[in-house]
Structure 1
Amino acid sequence: MSPLEIAAATQAKTPGSPGASSRRPGSRRLGLAGWLLPIALAALWELLVRAGIANGRLMPPPSVVGRTLWGLAASGELLTHVTATLWRVAAGFGLGAGVATVLGALTGALPVARGLLDPTLQALRAIPSIAWVPLFILWFGIFEASKVALIAVGVFFPVYLGVAAAIQGIDRKIVEVGRVFRLGRLAMVRRVLLPAILPAWFTSLRSGLGLGFMFVVAAEIMGASEGLGYLLVDGQQLGRPDTIIAAIISFAVLGKLADGLLLAITRPFLAWQDLGRDTL
């Protein structure tokens, strides 16, 4: 067993360990409580519009937005837009996160690679996302390749920074403990160094996924004929704020579900952590 695995096994036997505390009923109640604020605000706006106190023309009440969402869903249009957006985000996220992980590991572990690559990548990180749009259109055309490339750029930088910083910030004491256990080079990477950087890597993946949903809006404005970004533009051109808000709500729901899925996938790999989130 690695030092980290030994610590995890010790904490698993301790009452109040993370594995036990994460399943407390109180955590579920707190999760449900997170819905109270948006539901209360939506109900308040509905009441204000129905009472004639507020004008619902530019900011439609939830009942109007709900009817719009239902109509889009019933016609199959919403599913078409959601599927197109999810495919682009998934493709861009996979490409950007994969390349970023490799380059981040190289620049974090090898000083030579850091000196050669990091200055250029840091300069590219300062370029606004919208500046890549005309270049990608010239390179890849207005079809899917340019959209996926733009999303990949948005995902790349937070993942790259997270991986590189995590490797450079590994505690020297962890490495020394691995040497005490006489671990070889590959065993040191697999059983000590990799678990040490997993928390920062998974956090950077979540940040990259969030930016992927932001960049898909810019990507779908680049001449797309379907997708939630296209639905936003279509609502703006037709002067339909209910369509715009319906697309925004769809983005919010999809982003939250995707983040929850990523969190659920990565949580088992971090079960060894002894966090104080439930004791504060």
Structure 2
Amino acid sequence: MGRRSGPGKRDGGKRAWQTWLAGALLPVTVLAVWQVLGDLGYISFLLFPTPQRIGNAFITLAKTGELWSHLWISLARAMAGFALGGGLGFLFGALVGLYRYAEKTLDPSMQMIRMVPHLAVTSLFILWFGIGETAKILMIAKGAFFPVYINTFLGIRNVDNKLFEVARVLEFSRFKQLVRLVLPAALPNILLGVRLSVGISWLGLVVAELMSSTSGIGYLMLDARASSKTPIVFVGIIIFAVFGKVTDSIVRRLERRLLGWRDSYQG
């Protein structure tokens, strides 16, 4: 059996490398063209510093330790906001999905709050909670709440009703229905909500740190913009992009592991 698994692992590793190379082709090409145009003087160093200048700015910030101190603060904010918003979104989504009375009572208000633009409540959050960590985490949580809430609700409501009839025949308790039936069937939607929520948490972090902050990657970008240090602004943008992609990949890997039983179309 060990001999049989070897080629399969090698094929899987080869496919992973091919996927990575295919995904890296476009950004590497863009960076190369960008560097050449900058070296030839076709683009402004002030507005579009070359990748080499951005890399030098990153190295300088990393060596001084300034980058890491701001990065850990931003990561802590993003994780705290996601945990709060995503956790409440799951609880309220499950409540509204399981009970029709809860849907009639809570969902209309939830949908109204969802339609309020993120920037519209920023000033209120600052007014109510100041410019401390509470306001920032709540702003991130607001954005993270609704993707999980909506997808949990839809996932539960899309569960085949025949499964509930089988559960009643087997005399499952309400808790056992939830754990053994509802959550596994709704898991694809819930994980989709988590994936969307993670992305929006990063967007909320940017808004929170750019509007009112004295630390974090957003503050670092804002301070660099005021000093016309454009390479540092690009460093911040790239960090947000990279960590957003990394967290999305983690959720996708979790999704593949938990939903390995699905025989879905792969393209």
What TM-score, normalized by structure 2, do the two folds share?
0.90
Counterparts of 1:25-44 in structure 2, within 5 Å, are 25-44=14-33
1:202 aligned residue: 191
Q: Residue 178 and residue 32 in structure 1: after superposition, are their counterparts in 2 closer, same or farther (change >3 A)?
A: farther
Task: Report the Cα offset of residue 103 of structure 1.
Answer: 0.5
Percent identical among aligned pairs is 37
> Within 2, Cα distance between the matches of 1:28 and 1:45?
25
Q: Which of 134, 143, 149 in structure 1 is aligned with 2:132?
A: 143
Structure 1 position 184, deviation (Å): 1.2
Counterparts of 1:179 and 1:137, CA distance in 2 = 50
- Tell me, in whole angstroms, the C-alpha distance in 2 between the residues paired with 1:106 and 1:36: 45
Structure 1: where are the runs of 5+ without partners?
1-18
Mapped pair 1:184 → 2:172: yes
SS at match of 2:263: coil
Relative contact order, higher structure (CA 8 A, sep 6+): 1
Query: 1:228 matched to which residue of 2?
Result: 217
From 60, 85, 100, the counterpart of 1:96? 85
Residues of 2 paired with 1:207 and 1:120: CA distance?
A: 21
Distance 2:37 2:164 in 1: 61
- Of residues 84, 108, 115, the one that matches 2:73 is 84
Root-mean-square deviation over aligned CA pairs:
2.0
In structure 2, distance between residues paired with 1:128 and 1:202: 24
- Residue 8 (structure 1) aligns with: none
**What runs of 5+ residues in structure 2 fail to find an aligned partner?**
1-7
Read off the aligned partner of 1:169 and give its amino acid letter. Answer: N
Q: In structure 1, what is the Cα distance between the partners aligned to 2:206 and 2:62?
A: 20
User: How many Å separate the matches in 1 of 2:225 and 2:13?
Assistant: 45
- CA displacement 1:20-56 (0-9 Å, x = unmatched): 9x94632441133101110110001111111233333
Would you say the 8 A contact 1:142–1:222 is kept in 2?
A: no
Partner SS for 1:35:
helix
Which residue of structure 2 lines up, in the alignment, with residue 14 of structure 1? none
State how many pairs are aligned: 258
Matched, 1:214 2:198: no
Matched residue type, 1:149: L
Residues 1-280 of structure 1: pairs in structure 2 closer than 5 A: 23=12, 25-176=14-165, 178=167, 182=170, 184-185=172-173, 186-277=175-266, 280=267
Q: Which one-letter code corresponds to 1:231 in the other structure?
A: L
Pairwise CA distance, 1:172? 2.3
40-49 vs 190-199, which moves further: 190-199
Please state how far the C-alpha of 1:92 moved relative to its aligned partner: 0.3
